[in-house]
Amino acid sequence: MEEKLHFNSATIHGGQEPDKAYGAVMPPIYQTSTYAQTTPGGHKGFEYSRTHNPTRQALEKSLASIEAGNFGFAFGSGLAAMDAVLKLLKPGDEIISTNDLYGGSYRLFTKIFEDFGLKFHFVGMDNPQNISATINKKTKLIWIETPTNPMMNVIDIKAIATLAKKHGVMVAVDNTFASPYLQQPLTLGADIVMHSATKYLAGHSDVVLGSLVVNDEDLAARIGFIQNASGAICGPMDSFLTLRGIKTLHVRMQRHCENANEIANYLKNHPKIEKVYWPGLEDHPNHSIAKAQMKDFGGMLSFVTKGADYDAAIKIVEKLKLFTLAESLGGVESLAGHPASMTHASIPKELREKSGVVDALIRLSVGIEDVRDLIADLEQAIG
Ligand SMILES: *Cc1c(COP(=O)(O)O)cnc(C)c1O
């Protein structure tokens, strides 16, 4: 059993040991589908790379370590990881989730799994009473995302996990926006933590990958079975890139948070800005939960310009130069997005506006550049 490391060491060393063959400090990219056996069943723990691959296994151990869990699983994308969680359920089972969920998650739930007989309820989760009102005997899973995308609502994981436990309901948390640097949902009572490692974990916008981490051995066995049986795994090269990204997660996150803090305050004091959504601002409706639950407030923020409509918001994102107009988030470089036409275009307009995703909303993934250059870029674009 390895000694429990502090987070800033776990990112570099957690679950890792030098490679057994030559002592390589970074696990080699084992670009192989199969492994030689001396006699049928005579192998070194690896038979076929859908089931196990040494590079993926090194990543899975790292993922478990940084999320303070026992078992890690890596998948071909964040949505492939979510797909595996939903396959734990059966027709007739009900799921409660948030009403400003990541667009791709909403699409997976409603366009794929509803057809397989799962029933989804979308409620405002920043008020746990909305969950109590929806929970029933068929409820099997609560799917939390916090902070939410793009409204940055912060949901009280511990309160919901406590409520869920009373009803024997499993809790999964999409921890993509926060990263384990800011919060570790398993330590707050969640059963499953999921990541689009594409974002902060890998951190360099060069890989698409997903992960799950759990503590319970039976649950781990069921997820491992689904991972192998359905086969939505990631390859060794992507596993390697994600491992390399995780090693600098803590230093990147610190700078993401510092830069976002400066930009949130700059926007808040800007005469042309109507509203800024960042959990670190004291007037954010969930600021006190964020302060208690998270180590810092993250690198994601959204804002609305006074009097702006759909076209005016698009003009601003087009004018930005250092902020690249792109989907995705969590890389070292700053990105800007227009949720209504990009990440949230798959959510019906009435539904998205009800949760605050108006046409004028702009979302920023604040990178780790010099914040003075980022602010100068916003200044010239907002005008
Ligand atoms: C990107 C994202 C996903 C989906 O992950 P992929 O790696 O793109 O499949 C899920 N949840 C959140 C919050 C995301 O940002």
Question: What pLDDT, in 10s, does the model give residues 37-70?
Answer: 999 999 999 999 999 999 999 999 999 999 999 9
Q: 189 alpha carbon to ligand 1 midpoint, in Å?
A: 22
Strands 71-75 and 324-325: unpaired
How crowded is residue 155: how many other Cβ atoms within 10 Å of its Cβ?
Answer: 23
pLDDT band at 4 (very low <50, low <70, confident <90, very high): confident
User: For ligand 1, what atom is nearest to the CA of residue 177?
Assistant: 13
| pLDDT greater at residue 21 or residue 209 | 209
- Candidates 32, 16, 15; CA nearest to 24 is 16
User: For ligand 1, what atom is nearest to the CA of residue 80?
Assistant: 9
In this predicted structure, the answer to whether residue 326 has a pLDDT above a threshold of 50 is yes
Q: Is the CB of 198 under 6 A from ligand 1?
A: yes
Q: 113 alpha carbon to ligand 1 midpoint, in Å?
A: 17
In this predicted structure, the answer to whether residue 2 has a pLDDT above a threshold of 70 is no
User: For ligand 1, what atom is nearest to the CA of residue 145?
Assistant: 13
Question: Residues for the chain: how many in total?
Answer: 383
Q: 108 alpha carbon to ligand 1 midpoint, in Å?
A: 11
DSSP string for 213-275 = EE--HHHHHHHHHHHHHH--PPPHHHHHHHHHHHTTHHHHHHHHHHHHHHHHHHHHT-TTEEE
Q: Which residues contact 199 (CB under 8 A, 6 or more apart)?
A: 78, 176, 177, 179, 328, 329, 330, 331
User: For ligand 1, what atom is nearest to the CA of residue 105?
Assistant: 10
Out of 98, 101, 102, mutate this one to test ligand 1's pocket (max ligand atoms within 8 Å of CB): namely 102
Residue nearest to atom 7 of ligand 1 (CA): 78
The four Cα atoms 212, 215, 219, 220 give a dihedral, to 10 degrees, of: 60
Question: What pLDDT, in 10s, does the model give residues 277-290?
Answer: 999 999 999 999 99
Residue nearest to atom 5 of ligand 1 (CA): 78
Q: Is the CB of 66 under 6 A from ligand 1?
A: no
User: For ligand 1, what atom is nearest to the CA of residue 82?
Assistant: 10
Q: Is the CB of 145 under 6 A from ligand 1?
A: yes
Q: 214 alpha carbon to ligand 1 midpoint, in Å?
A: 19
Out of 199, 329, 343, 347, mutate this one to test ligand 1's pocket (max ligand atoms within 8 Å of CB): namely 199
State the greatest distance between any 2 C-alpha atoms of the chain, in Å, as a whole number.
74
Alpha-carbon distance of 157 to 72, in angstroms, equals 20
pLDDT value for 311: 94
Q: b/e map of 262-289 (b: 16 or more CB within 10 Å)?
A: ebbebbeebeebebbbbbbbeebebbeb
Tokens describing residue 218? 């039976």
Averaged over 132-156, what is the pLDDT?
Answer: 96
Q: 283 alpha carbon to ligand 1 midpoint, in Å?
A: 28
Report the share of the chain in percent with pLDDT over 70: 99
The type of residue at 183 is Q
Averaged over 152-164, what is the pLDDT?
Answer: 96
In this predicted structure, the answer to whether residue 25 has a pLDDT above a threshold of 60 is yes
Q: Exposed/middle/buried for 55, CB within 10 Å: 0-12, 13-18, 19+?
A: buried
Question: What pLDDT, in 10s, does the model give residues 175-201?
Answer: 999 999 999 999 999 999 999 999 999
Averaged over 82-93, what is the pLDDT?
Answer: 98
Q: Is the CB of 79 under 6 A from ligand 1?
A: yes
pLDDT value for 319: 97
Report the share of the chain in percent with pLDDT over 90: 90
- Candidates 217, 248, 207; CA nearest to 74 is 207
Residue nearest to atom 2 of ligand 1 (CA): 196
Question: What pLDDT, in 10s, does the model give residues 345-377?
Answer: 877 888 788 888 999 999 999 999 999 999 999
pLDDT band at 1 (very low <50, low <70, confident <90, very high): very low
Alpha-carbon distance of 137 to 135, in angstroms, equals 7
Beta strands, E only, 38-109: 71-75, 94-98
pLDDT band at 28 (very low <50, low <70, confident <90, very high): very high
| pLDDT greater at residue 71 or residue 383 | 71
The CATH T-level fold of domain 2-246 is: Aspartate Aminotransferase; domain 2 (3.40.640)
Question: What pLDDT, in 10s, does the model give residues 227-242?
Answer: 999 999 999 999 999 9
In this predicted structure, the answer to whether residue 322 has a pLDDT above a threshold of 60 is yes
Alpha-carbon distance of 261 to 162, in angstroms, equals 31
In this predicted structure, the answer to whether residue 3 has a pLDDT above a threshold of 70 is no
Q: 356 alpha carbon to ligand 1 midpoint, in Å?
A: 20
As annotated, the active-site residues are 50, 102, 174, 199
Q: Is the CB of 105 under 6 A from ligand 1?
A: yes
The type of residue at 19 is D
Q: 43 alpha carbon to ligand 1 midpoint, in Å?
A: 36
The CATH T-level fold of domain 250-382 is: Aspartate Aminotransferase, domain 1 (3.90.1150)
**Any idea where the domains of the chain sit in the sequence?**
2-246, 250-382
Q: What is the pTM of this model?
A: 0.96
